[in-house]
Structure 1
Amino acid sequence: MEVGREAQYDVFAEQFLDHARDGFYNAHLDRPACLDLLGDVAGLRVLDAACGPGLYAEELVTRGAAVVGVDISPRMVELSRRRVPGGEFRVHDLAEPLVWLPDASVDRVLFALAVEYVDDRVALLRELRRVLRPDGALVLSRQHPFGNWLRHGGNYFEPRVVEEVWSRGWRVRYWLSPLERTCEELRAAGFLVERLVEPRPSPEAATLDPERFERLSREPTGFLAVRAVPDPR
């Protein structure tokens, strides 16, 4: 049982950019939460792992960060380069080591909405810890496991791969896993969870889609985000 190493988003990269730029879930739920957990990044070097089309990187550069972005999708990397000319982007499969990044060479790591697509998550998280400075932090977001369980049913505690077609016709394959599994994978990779948040929509989203705003303000059916720090012990 595995997701595999296909660049799934490559076939709809431009469509995803159009969707995520101002989309309710991305622009008003996940991005604000992740950027808040990253904190003040002015003057810091940030690794944007699974950078997608560069929407997070654009905001990080605006806030004064030097961004290094990687993504398995060549089309996503090209979109990032166009969007953020001042960033450094390359095509990279996160199942492989980040061999060009020295130990303790970045101040922050952002890993937004991509952990579900990685088969050996502990190995990747260990690599992210390797390149992170001892006083740095990792911000990771993922689909909310309870929301996944409500949609897919079955045994909440049993990790498994699912395949589905999203509303725009995008076929995706990814891991379902409980919250405790994500926390355990972080621990096994040498991290301590500093904060865990269950984002609610930003206030300005209330006028965009009142029904969705109300639902996501009371139901854990969106995302969750974690700020983890290297375990000094």
Structure 2
Amino acid sequence: MAEAVGPDPQYDVFADEFLDHARDGLYNAHYDRPACLELLGDVAGLSVLDVACGPGLYAEELVARGAQVRGLDISPRMVELARERVPDAEFCVHDIAKRLDWLPDDSVDLVLFALAIEYVDDRISALRELRRVLRPGGALVLSRQHPTGDWIRQGGNYFDVRVIEEVWSRGWRLRYWLAPLEHTCEELREAGFLIERLVEPRPTAQAAGIDLQTYEKLSREPTGFIAIRALPDPRR
């Protein structure tokens, strides 16, 4: 397999099914979203750029908390769903691998980049662009699959940075990058960020009522996600 994910909007073909899955599902509603929202903090009155916004589930909560949200996604259908779900936010179809030429420097307070960096081939360039549009004092909140969980599932050399193709439980076929934790941290540094916090989330108590086995597994094993809050490095 070529060492690239490519620009194909992979989630477009199952966008509606993903919305049904992620709206109240354990991994999204009771694991990643709470962790990312906690790292974003109080968003009232702030401008938030929701990168890889999907069907608007994060944006919906951010708007409810008083944020002014702009979202982007490479999937046209995801953007349609987001617009239907969150009419008070702005959404556009955009590939994060390309320059955000519709946003000036220092124009947003916060950037959310949830569970999508592994689909980007040139991650440093994308992160640098997010650094460009962040205002001084702003923050990037990024989540990704836990690299230890990836390694346990895929095997091989943990430190190899490589593209894999996987079929998920619902039959969704996806290509994405595997990378060790130090690689993600180094890419953030190269892009001009300093890591303020790194958390290994635990599922919420409500998750136990959805799937007790998964709840207990995620509560004791590093097989789910990680979330990072990073700040623009003032020295760069």
TM-score range, shorter chain: over 0.9
Q: Deviations over 1:126-182 (max 9, x none)?
A: 000000001000000000000000000000001000001111011100000000000
Equivalent residue, structure 1, for 2:179: 177
Please, which runs of 5 or more residues in structure 2 have no aligned partner?
none
Question: Counterparts of 2:140 and 2:126 in 1: how far apart (Å)?
Answer: 12
Q: Does 1:168 align with 2:146?
A: no
The Cα shift of 1:209 comes to 1.4
Q: Deviations over 1:56-109 (max 9, x none)?
A: 000000000000000000000000000000000000011100000000000000
Instruction: From 15, 18, 24, give the equivalent of 1:16.
Output: 18
Instruction: From 205, 211, 214, give the equivalent of 2:213.
Output: 211
Question: Counterparts of 2:17 and 2:210 in 1: how far apart (Å)?
Answer: 20
Instruction: From 69, 72, 90, give the equivalent of 2:71.
Output: 69
Aligned residue pair count: 233
User: Could you state the TM-score of these two structures normalised by the residue count of structure 2?
Assistant: 0.98
The DSSP-based 3-state class of the residue aligned with 1:161 is: strand
The Cα shift of 1:203 comes to 1.1
1:6-155 alignment runs, 5 A limit = 6-155=8-157
Question: Counterparts of 2:77 and 2:215 in 1: how far apart (Å)?
Answer: 32
- 2:86 counterpart letter in structure 1: V
- 2:144 counterpart letter in structure 1: R
Equivalent residue, structure 2, for 1:189: 191
Question: Counterparts of 1:210 and 1:135 in 2: how far apart (Å)?
Answer: 40
- 1:166 counterpart letter in structure 2: W
The DSSP-based 3-state class of the residue aligned with 1:11 is: helix
Question: Counterparts of 1:208 and 1:31 in 2: how far apart (Å)?
Answer: 16
Larger mean Cα displacement after TM superposition, 82-91 or 201-210: 201-210
The Cα shift of 1:55 comes to 0.1
The Cα shift of 1:204 comes to 1.4
The Cα shift of 1:24 comes to 0.7
Deviating 4+ runs (over 3 angstroms): none
The Cα shift of 1:120 comes to 0.2
The Cα shift of 1:225 comes to 0.2
Equivalent residue, structure 2, for 1:225: 227
Question: Counterparts of 1:206 and 1:133 in 2: how far apart (Å)?
Answer: 39
User: Could you state the TM-score of these two structures normalised by the residue count of structure 1?
Assistant: 0.99
- 1:89 counterpart letter in structure 2: F
Question: Counterparts of 2:136 and 2:116 in 1: how far apart (Å)?
Answer: 23
The DSSP-based 3-state class of the residue aligned with 1:42 is: coil
